[in-house]
Structures are given as structure tokens and as C-alpha cells.
Amino acid sequence: MAEPFIWQGRTDGDTEEHLRIHQVMNKIIPAKFALLGFASDEGVKRNKGRLGAKAGPQAIRQQLAGLPIHQSLAIRDVGTVSCDDGDLEKAQRQLSDEIIDILSQNQTPIILGGGHEVAFASFQGLFDFVSQTQPKKVIGIINFDAHFDLRSAPQATSGTPFLQSAKLCQQHERPFHYLCLGIADHGNTKILFDTADQLGCRYIRDKALTQSQLPNIIQQIQHFINEVDYLYITIDLDVFSASIAPGVSAPAPKGISVEIFDELFAVIKASGKIKVFDIAECNPEFDIDNHTAKLAAYLIYQFLF
């Protein structure tokens, strides 16, 4: 585990109406939410992307610390799993085990990435926990992402997590439910579309995620949610335009708007089925005035409240 983050920031007062997240972090027991960092860009390196996402967890924490709270919040910081030696598989297993421990305490893990290789660790942790405790329950993955991340490769990368997840399901004869929102035609080869179709994945392209199409899209999302018992939600920040999320490993020239995300996420959150939530590809090395880290903190804020 990496060095613990020191939760501090602006303090306007100690009474309830003045509180910010840093003032309540690790203060209320038992916690409802547990933050867990994944400091890794080994998967991005293997995928030949631009490095820097390893610093993402601390950058997101810094932006989250000062956000105000308007209702009681029971949240703790578990720390950060780091991939320092190039052994991504070991780090992913460690993160999965931490997630299992958090879930066993009836808390909801919020994982801060890091490259999108975090996704296989997040899914594996939830998959193993459900297999051990409620083996008949069905898990669904909703990925906000410009990319399928279904790439076939000789080793795990930031582009392989959902093919790894599909294979994990196949090994245990479990259904693979995967919905990807924000897919960019220019960001995925034909083989990735073919792989998605062969696996029965569902996806909605970025160009379809418009205000006029919302009723139909919400209906599709709701149908997906109704088919599963638990949800793993993962947000790759490159699903947003580079104009609002410049600090990512693969910036998007188009992307979806935050307003569209908010409306879709509200439907997902209202289901009450989210068991694991993560943010991926926050890359401070290429951020501008912390825009991307602030966006990541905002997305977490939407989940918390």
C-alpha cells in the first residue's frame, strides 16, 4: 500500500452546515463508502498509451477533499494499492482482495484510478465476493467509455479488462452482461466491434448520446438494469471530450457531455443496485488546471449524494 493521503483543506467551521468531505473522512463508524486508490499505469504502458495515470488517485483525493457535504456522510479511506514493480497481475489481485474485504463489511467500494486496468480488478473482486456469498446473483457491468476495452493480448493491459472479465464469467459458466456507453467509432477497430457482438455486449455510440435520444437510451439502460441483480459501474474519463477532460491517457476529440452523463447516471443510481464504482484514466501529467481531477471528484460526488 502507498503512503496514506492526508485529508485536509479549507475549513469554514466545525458545525454541520460548514462541513466538507475532508472533515468527515474516517470519522463515522461504520462507514457506508470506502475509498480505495489504484496507483497504476502499467496497463497503459503495456497498451502503448501515455503514462501518468499512476498519480490519479491522489489528484482525485485532493479535489474531493474540499467539496461540501449537505447531508450525513459515512466514508473512510482504505488507502492505495500501487503497482511499483511492473507486476500488474499481482496488483490487480491485491486490489480485488481489498474490494472483497470492503464488500464483506457491507460497504460500497469507490476505486480511484489509475489506468483502466483497474476494471478487471474491480470486476474480479465483485465477482469473487458474489460467487462466495450469493452465487445465484447476476452481475452487470456498465462502462462509460469511448473504447470497448475488449482487446485480445498476450498479457493484461488497460485495453483488455472486459475481455478478461468475459473469460472469467465463461470459466465459471456465468453470464456476461456488459453495456458500454459512449463508444467512439474512431476509437475502436472493427475486430473490437466484432468481439463485442460475439460476446453479446450492448453498446451505445457517443454520437447517439444526445438530448433528443435520451428517452430511448434510458429505456435501453433500464432494460439492462432489470436483467441483473448487482451493478459494477466504471467510468473511463476519456468518455468525455478532451475540452473538459484533457488529463487522460487517450483524449477524445468528441466525447459525451456531463449533462447527458448526469441524466443517465441518475437512472442507474436510482436502481439501488450499484455494488462497486470506479473512475479510471485520471492522468495529472497531462491535466490542465486540474480540470480532469475536478471532473472525477464531481462524478464521485454525484454517486455519494
| pLDDT tens by residue, 132-188 | 999 999 999 999 999 999 999 999 999 999 999 999 999 999 999 999 999 999 999
The H or E element spanning position 76 is strand 75-82
Does the annotation flag 149 for ligand binding? Answer: yes
Mean pLDDT of the chain: 97
The H or E element spanning position 258 is helix 258-270
The H or E element spanning position 82 is strand 75-82
- Give the pLDDT band of residue 74 (cuts 50, 70, 90): very high
Spell 115-153 as b/e; 16+ CB within 10 A means b. bbbbbbbbbbbbbbbbeeeeeeeebbbbbbbbbbbbbee
The whole-number pLDDT of residue 46 equals 96
Q: What 3-state DSSP class applies to 140?
A: strand
In CATH, what is the architecture of 16-304? 3-Layer(aba) Sandwich (3.40)
Across the range 76-103, mean pLDDT stands at 97
The whole-number pLDDT of residue 78 equals 97
pLDDT above 70 as % of the chain: 100
Q: What 3-state DSSP class applies to 215?
A: helix
Does the annotation flag 147 for ligand binding? Answer: yes
Does the annotation flag 236 for ligand binding? Answer: yes
Task: Indicate if the pLDDT at residue 2 is higher than 80.
Answer: no
Least reliable range by pLDDT among 82-86, 153-157, 173-177, 250-254: 250-254
Distance between CA 20 and CA 16 in Å, rounded?
9
- Give the pLDDT band of residue 253 (cuts 50, 70, 90): confident
CA Rg value for the chain: 18
Task: Indicate if the pLDDT at residue 261 is higher than 80.
Answer: yes
Task: Indicate if the pLDDT at residue 213 is higher than 80.
Answer: yes
| pLDDT tens by residue, 14-35 | 999 999 999 999 999 999 999 9
Task: Indicate if the pLDDT at residue 282 is higher than 90.
Answer: yes
Across the range 63-91, mean pLDDT stands at 97
Task: Indicate if the pLDDT at residue 210 is higher than 80.
Answer: yes
Task: Indicate if the pLDDT at residue 246 is higher than 90.
Answer: yes
Q: What 3-state DSSP class applies to 204?
A: strand
Distance between CA 77 and CA 142 in Å, rounded?
24
Q: Where are the beta strands (DSSP E) in the chain?
A: 33-39, 75-82, 108-113, 139-144, 177-183, 202-205, 230-236, 274-280
Q: Who has greater pLDDT, 253 or 281?
A: 281
Across the range 75-103, mean pLDDT stands at 97
Distance between CA 80 and CA 59 in Å, rounded?
12
Across the range 255-271, mean pLDDT stands at 97
The whole-number pLDDT of residue 1 equals 77
Across the range 200-229, mean pLDDT stands at 97
Task: Indicate if the pLDDT at residue 256 is higher than 90.
Answer: yes
Task: Indicate if the pLDDT at residue 250 is higher than 90.
Answer: no
The three cell numbers of residue 17 are 452546515
